[in-house]
Chains A and B, each alone.
Chain A
Amino acid sequence: MFEVAIVLITAMVVLLIAYLTAISSRDLIRLLISLEMMFGAVFLALIPVFSIPEMANTAFGVLVIAIFTSSSELLILIASIVLLNRIKRDVSTDVVSSGGDTL
Protein backbone atom coordinates (compact mmCIF):
# COMPACT_ATOMS: atom_id res chain seq x y z
CA MET A 1 0.00 0.00 0.00
CA PHE A 2 2.78 2.40 0.91
CA GLU A 3 5.06 1.39 -1.95
CA VAL A 4 4.35 4.69 -3.71
CA ALA A 5 5.30 6.54 -0.53
CA ILE A 6 8.63 4.65 -0.32
CA VAL A 7 9.44 5.36 -3.99
CA LEU A 8 8.46 9.04 -3.82
CA ILE A 9 10.25 9.68 -0.50
CA THR A 10 13.40 8.06 -1.93
CA ALA A 11 13.09 10.22 -5.07
CA MET A 12 12.59 13.33 -2.94
CA VAL A 13 15.60 12.64 -0.71
CA VAL A 14 17.86 11.79 -3.69
CA LEU A 15 16.75 15.02 -5.43
CA LEU A 16 17.43 17.15 -2.35
CA ILE A 17 20.85 15.53 -1.84
CA ALA A 18 21.60 16.21 -5.53
CA TYR A 19 20.56 19.85 -5.02
CA LEU A 20 22.87 20.14 -2.02
CA THR A 21 25.73 18.55 -3.97
CA ALA A 22 25.18 20.99 -6.87
CA ILE A 23 25.01 23.98 -4.52
CA SER A 24 28.19 23.02 -2.67
CA SER A 25 30.15 21.98 -5.78
CA ARG A 26 32.99 24.15 -6.98
CA ASP A 27 34.21 22.01 -9.88
CA LEU A 28 32.56 20.74 -13.05
CA ILE A 29 32.98 17.03 -12.25
CA ARG A 30 30.96 17.34 -9.06
CA LEU A 31 28.36 19.40 -10.91
CA LEU A 32 28.07 16.60 -13.50
CA ILE A 33 27.63 14.01 -10.73
CA SER A 34 24.90 16.07 -9.05
CA LEU A 35 23.02 16.59 -12.34
CA GLU A 36 23.03 12.85 -12.98
CA MET A 37 21.68 12.26 -9.48
CA MET A 38 18.84 14.66 -10.31
CA PHE A 39 18.04 12.58 -13.40
CA GLY A 40 18.08 9.49 -11.15
CA ALA A 41 15.46 11.12 -8.93
CA VAL A 42 13.36 11.86 -12.03
CA PHE A 43 13.56 8.18 -13.02
CA LEU A 44 12.36 7.13 -9.57
CA ALA A 45 9.46 9.59 -9.72
CA LEU A 46 8.40 8.01 -13.03
CA ILE A 47 7.73 4.59 -11.46
CA PRO A 48 4.16 5.42 -10.30
CA VAL A 49 3.31 6.56 -13.86
CA PHE A 50 4.23 3.07 -15.11
CA SER A 51 1.43 1.64 -12.95
CA ILE A 52 -1.25 3.41 -15.02
CA PRO A 53 -1.72 1.07 -18.04
CA GLU A 54 -2.67 3.92 -20.43
CA MET A 55 0.38 5.93 -19.36
CA ALA A 56 3.03 3.17 -19.45
CA ASN A 57 4.21 4.01 -22.98
CA THR A 58 4.18 7.73 -22.19
CA ALA A 59 6.26 7.09 -19.07
CA PHE A 60 8.72 5.09 -21.16
CA GLY A 61 8.83 7.98 -23.66
CA VAL A 62 9.61 10.44 -20.85
CA LEU A 63 12.32 8.04 -19.64
CA VAL A 64 13.90 7.90 -23.12
CA ILE A 65 13.77 11.71 -23.43
CA ALA A 66 15.32 12.08 -19.95
CA ILE A 67 18.18 9.74 -20.95
CA PHE A 68 18.77 11.72 -24.16
CA THR A 69 18.73 14.98 -22.17
CA SER A 70 21.18 13.51 -19.71
CA SER A 71 23.47 12.42 -22.58
CA SER A 72 23.32 15.94 -24.04
CA GLU A 73 24.17 17.43 -20.66
CA LEU A 74 27.10 15.01 -20.40
CA LEU A 75 28.36 16.06 -23.85
CA ILE A 76 28.18 19.75 -22.98
CA LEU A 77 29.86 19.28 -19.62
CA ILE A 78 32.66 17.14 -21.13
CA ALA A 79 33.30 19.91 -23.68
CA SER A 80 33.25 22.49 -20.86
CA ILE A 81 35.67 20.41 -18.78
CA VAL A 82 38.06 19.95 -21.72
CA LEU A 83 37.96 23.64 -22.69
CA LEU A 84 38.25 24.92 -19.13
CA ASN A 85 41.16 22.58 -18.44
CA ARG A 86 42.88 23.65 -21.67
CA ILE A 87 42.44 27.38 -21.02
CA LYS A 88 42.80 27.61 -17.23
CA ARG A 89 44.59 24.34 -16.40
CA ASP A 90 41.88 23.73 -13.82
CA VAL A 91 38.30 22.40 -13.76
CA SER A 92 37.25 24.41 -10.74
CA THR A 93 34.41 26.87 -11.37
CA ASP A 94 36.27 29.43 -9.22
CA VAL A 95 38.48 30.17 -12.24
CA VAL A 96 35.48 31.33 -14.29
CA SER A 97 35.54 35.11 -14.06
CA SER A 98 32.28 36.02 -15.82
CA GLY A 99 28.76 34.65 -16.26
CA GLY A 100 26.70 32.47 -13.98
CA ASP A 101 26.63 32.80 -10.26
CA THR A 102 28.68 35.30 -8.26
CA LEU A 103 31.87 33.55 -7.23
Chain B
Amino acid sequence: MEIAGLILLIIGVVTVLSSLGVLLSRDNFYSALYMSLTMILIATTFAVFDVQSAFILIAFIFIGAIGIITVALAAVFRFVPKKVPVDWLWVIPTALTLAVLSYTLYKYATFNLSATSVDVSAFQSQYIFAIVFLFCLMVLLMVSILNIVRREEMCSR
Protein backbone atom coordinates (compact mmCIF):
# COMPACT_ATOMS: atom_id res chain seq x y z
CA MET B 1 0.00 0.00 0.00
CA GLU B 2 1.24 3.48 -0.85
CA ILE B 3 2.09 5.95 1.90
CA ALA B 4 -0.92 8.18 1.04
CA GLY B 5 -3.25 5.17 1.28
CA LEU B 6 -1.73 4.20 4.63
CA ILE B 7 -2.17 7.74 5.99
CA LEU B 8 -5.77 7.71 4.75
CA LEU B 9 -6.39 4.35 6.43
CA ILE B 10 -4.95 5.59 9.75
CA ILE B 11 -7.04 8.80 9.58
CA GLY B 12 -10.13 6.73 8.75
CA VAL B 13 -9.61 4.37 11.69
CA VAL B 14 -9.03 7.26 14.14
CA THR B 15 -12.11 9.06 12.73
CA VAL B 16 -14.25 5.98 13.38
CA LEU B 17 -12.78 5.58 16.89
CA SER B 18 -13.43 9.23 17.78
CA SER B 19 -16.99 9.02 16.45
CA LEU B 20 -17.45 5.90 18.60
CA GLY B 21 -16.31 8.08 21.50
CA VAL B 22 -19.26 10.41 20.76
CA LEU B 23 -21.67 7.50 20.97
CA LEU B 24 -20.17 5.79 24.01
CA SER B 25 -19.40 8.83 26.16
CA ARG B 26 -22.35 9.58 28.46
CA ASP B 27 -21.19 13.10 29.28
CA ASN B 28 -22.29 15.56 26.57
CA PHE B 29 -19.18 17.70 27.06
CA TYR B 30 -16.85 14.83 26.17
CA SER B 31 -19.15 13.85 23.31
CA ALA B 32 -18.82 17.38 21.91
CA LEU B 33 -15.03 17.20 22.23
CA TYR B 34 -14.96 13.84 20.42
CA MET B 35 -17.22 15.35 17.74
CA SER B 36 -14.75 18.21 17.22
CA LEU B 37 -11.92 15.68 16.91
CA THR B 38 -13.95 13.73 14.32
CA MET B 39 -14.53 16.94 12.35
CA ILE B 40 -10.84 17.86 12.47
CA LEU B 41 -9.97 14.41 11.11
CA ILE B 42 -12.57 14.77 8.35
CA ALA B 43 -11.01 18.13 7.41
CA THR B 44 -7.59 16.42 7.46
CA THR B 45 -8.89 13.86 4.94
CA PHE B 46 -9.60 16.78 2.59
CA ALA B 47 -6.06 18.05 3.19
CA VAL B 48 -4.65 14.60 2.27
CA PHE B 49 -6.35 14.94 -1.12
CA ASP B 50 -5.02 18.50 -1.46
CA VAL B 51 -8.48 20.12 -1.52
CA GLN B 52 -7.21 23.07 0.48
CA SER B 53 -10.24 25.33 -0.04
CA ALA B 54 -12.59 22.71 1.43
CA PHE B 55 -10.14 22.05 4.27
CA ILE B 56 -10.07 25.75 5.18
CA LEU B 57 -13.87 26.01 4.98
CA ILE B 58 -14.41 22.99 7.23
CA ALA B 59 -11.58 23.76 9.66
CA PHE B 60 -12.34 27.45 10.16
CA ILE B 61 -16.11 27.69 9.75
CA PHE B 62 -17.47 24.24 10.56
CA ILE B 63 -15.10 23.37 13.40
CA GLY B 64 -14.00 26.89 14.38
CA ALA B 65 -17.50 28.27 14.73
CA ILE B 66 -20.13 25.54 14.84
CA GLY B 67 -18.01 22.95 16.67
CA ILE B 68 -16.82 25.39 19.31
CA ILE B 69 -20.38 26.68 19.92
CA THR B 70 -21.52 23.08 20.41
CA VAL B 71 -18.69 22.43 22.89
CA ALA B 72 -19.60 25.65 24.73
CA LEU B 73 -23.30 24.67 24.83
CA ALA B 74 -22.41 21.20 26.09
CA ALA B 75 -20.22 22.77 28.79
CA VAL B 76 -22.99 25.19 29.88
CA PHE B 77 -25.74 22.54 29.99
CA ARG B 78 -23.47 19.85 31.34
CA PHE B 79 -25.17 16.81 32.80
CA VAL B 80 -24.97 13.06 32.35
CA PRO B 81 -28.26 11.81 30.90
CA LYS B 82 -29.92 8.53 31.81
CA LYS B 83 -29.27 5.46 29.73
CA VAL B 84 -31.98 5.30 27.06
CA PRO B 85 -33.37 2.15 25.43
CA VAL B 86 -33.31 2.35 21.62
CA ASP B 87 -36.48 1.69 19.63
CA TRP B 88 -35.52 -1.18 17.32
CA LEU B 89 -37.86 0.05 14.57
CA TRP B 90 -35.10 2.53 13.75
CA VAL B 91 -33.17 -0.42 12.35
CA ILE B 92 -35.31 -0.21 9.16
CA PRO B 93 -34.25 3.30 7.95
CA THR B 94 -30.70 2.63 9.15
CA ALA B 95 -30.55 -0.62 7.14
CA LEU B 96 -31.96 1.16 4.07
CA THR B 97 -29.25 3.83 4.30
CA LEU B 98 -26.62 1.15 4.81
CA ALA B 99 -27.88 -0.67 1.69
CA VAL B 100 -27.70 2.49 -0.46
CA LEU B 101 -24.21 3.32 0.82
CA SER B 102 -23.02 -0.27 0.35
CA TYR B 103 -24.22 -0.24 -3.26
CA THR B 104 -22.33 3.04 -3.83
CA LEU B 105 -19.25 1.49 -2.28
CA TYR B 106 -19.58 -1.65 -4.44
CA LYS B 107 -20.02 0.46 -7.57
CA TYR B 108 -17.19 2.95 -7.02
CA ALA B 109 -14.66 1.11 -4.80
CA THR B 110 -12.07 0.89 -7.57
CA PHE B 111 -12.61 4.46 -8.80
CA ASN B 112 -9.33 6.32 -9.21
CA LEU B 113 -9.33 9.06 -6.58
CA SER B 114 -7.22 12.10 -7.39
CA ALA B 115 -8.99 15.22 -6.22
CA THR B 116 -8.72 18.38 -8.27
CA SER B 117 -8.44 21.80 -6.67
CA VAL B 118 -11.37 24.19 -6.81
CA ASP B 119 -11.25 27.21 -9.11
CA VAL B 120 -12.55 29.75 -6.59
CA SER B 121 -13.00 32.62 -9.09
CA ALA B 122 -15.05 30.37 -11.40
CA PHE B 123 -17.00 29.14 -8.38
CA GLN B 124 -17.80 32.71 -7.34
CA SER B 125 -19.14 33.59 -10.79
CA GLN B 126 -21.14 30.35 -11.08
CA TYR B 127 -22.64 30.32 -7.60
CA ILE B 128 -22.92 34.02 -6.72
CA PHE B 129 -26.73 33.94 -6.57
CA ALA B 130 -26.75 30.76 -4.49
CA ILE B 131 -24.39 32.37 -1.96
CA VAL B 132 -26.45 35.60 -1.86
CA PHE B 133 -29.69 33.62 -1.35
CA LEU B 134 -28.04 31.53 1.38
CA PHE B 135 -26.96 34.69 3.20
CA CYS B 136 -30.52 36.05 2.88
CA LEU B 137 -31.84 32.76 4.26
CA MET B 138 -29.51 32.99 7.25
CA VAL B 139 -30.52 36.60 7.99
CA LEU B 140 -34.23 35.74 7.71
CA LEU B 141 -33.71 32.75 9.97
CA MET B 142 -31.92 34.89 12.58
CA VAL B 143 -34.70 37.52 12.49
CA SER B 144 -37.37 34.80 12.82
CA ILE B 145 -35.60 33.19 15.76
CA LEU B 146 -35.18 36.57 17.47
CA ASN B 147 -38.91 37.20 16.98
CA ILE B 148 -39.82 33.81 18.45
CA VAL B 149 -37.55 34.31 21.49
CA ARG B 150 -38.83 37.87 22.09
CA ARG B 151 -42.47 36.74 21.74
CA GLU B 152 -41.81 34.01 24.28
CA GLU B 153 -40.27 36.60 26.63
CA MET B 154 -43.37 38.83 26.28
CA CYS B 155 -45.67 35.86 26.99
CA SER B 156 -43.73 34.81 30.08
CA ARG B 157 -44.02 38.31 31.66
Contacts and interface: CB of A to CB of B under 8 A. Distances in A.
B73 A4 contact: no
A36 B123 CA distance: 25
Interface in B99-133: 101-102, 104-105, 108-119, 122-123, 126-127, 130-131
A50 B90 contact: no
Interface of A is mostly: helix
Contact of B45 (A7, A25, A51, A61): A7
Interface centre among B28, B53, B130, B148 (most CB of A within 10 A): B28
Interface of B is mostly: helix
Contacts of B126: 57, 61
Contacts of A46: 54
B141 to A, nearest CB: 5
A1 B127 CA distance: 32
Contacts of A91: 77
A19 B45 contact: no
A3 B4 contact: yes
A27 B81 contact: yes
A4 B115 CA distance: 11
Given A8-B105, A81-B77, A61 B130 contact: yes
Interface in B72-88: 73-74, 77, 79, 81-82, 84, 86-87
A79 B148 contact: yes
A51 B145 contact: no
Interface centre among A40, A43, A87 (most CB of B within 10 A): A40
Which 6 pairs, one residue from A and one from B, show the smallest C-beta to C-beta distance?
A: A10-B12, A50-B115, A5-B109, A79-B145, A3-B113, A60-B118
27 contacts: A2-B110, A3-B8, A8-B101, A10-B12, A12-B98, A12-B102, A13-B16, A15-B97, A16-B94, A17-B19, A17-B20, A29-B70, A37-B19, A37-B22, A43-B58, A44-B42, A46-B54, A47-B45, A50-B51, A56-B119, A59-B118, A67-B62, A68-B137, A74-B66, A75-B145, A79-B149, A85-B77
